[in-house]
Amino acid sequence: MSPDGQTMYLTLRWLNGAVKINTTTKKISDWIPLSHTNKFPSDGKASHGIGLSPDGKNLYITSQVLNSVTIVDVATNSIISEIPVGKDPNWVDFTQDGKYAIVSNTASGDVSVILIETKKVIATIKVGKSPKRFAVGNNILN
């Protein structure tokens, strides 16, 4: 959900992207396509977990097919970066200070820590079998 509550973002399993939903009209207002892939998403989702950066400017979308996170500028719907992460990325959340995005990687049993400023994975942390949805607590990386 956008900070102003006017736009909701949603991934659809076979869409390979996301839709923007205007919360006032309750209608899809736009589609954000991700990079094309020749892989068929039989064992995963081309677009799956989704998270809006704390400043509301960038959408982070996990791809279980590409084992990556795509960052999209929501003002232009343009792809800013595609970041390789662990196997079968599932969910994404952000530290409260907005400095890091954390991605759970279900098949590799770890989380990837992305430094938002550089758009690069700065750490991979083993967390156990099949991490999926989660929420980042306060001071997690201090």
8 vs 23: CA distance, rounded Å: 7
Percent of the chain with pLDDT strictly greater than 90: 68
For the chain, what are the domain ranges? 7-126
Query: How many residues are given for the chain?
Result: 142
124 vs 5: CA distance, rounded Å: 33
Q: Examine the pLDDT at 51 and tell me if it is beyond 90.
A: yes
71 vs 131: CA distance, rounded Å: 21
Neighbouring residues of 34: CB distance < 8 A, sequence distance ≥ 6? 16, 17, 46, 47, 61, 63, 70, 72, 79
* Amino acid 41: pLDDT: 56
* Amino acid 136: pLDDT: 81
What is the tens place of the pLDDT at every residue in 35-48?
766 665 555 677 88
The pTM assigned to this predicted structure is 0.88
- pLDDT-based confidence at 117, cuts 50/70/90? very high
What is the tens place of the pLDDT at every residue in 1-30?
999 999 999 988 777 789 999 999 999 999
Mean pLDDT score across all residues of the chain: 88
What is the tens place of the pLDDT at every residue in 73-93?
999 999 999 999 999 999 999
108 vs 111: CA distance, rounded Å: 9
Q: Examine the pLDDT at 128 and tell me if it is beyond 80.
A: yes
| Topology at the third CATH level for domain 7-126 | Methylamine Dehydrogenase; Chain H (2.130.10)
Which residue has tokens 């990556």?
A: 68
Per-residue pLDDT, averaged over 122-132, amounts to 91
* Amino acid 141: pLDDT: 55
CA nearest to 45, candidates 63, 61, 29: 63
* Amino acid 124: pLDDT: 96
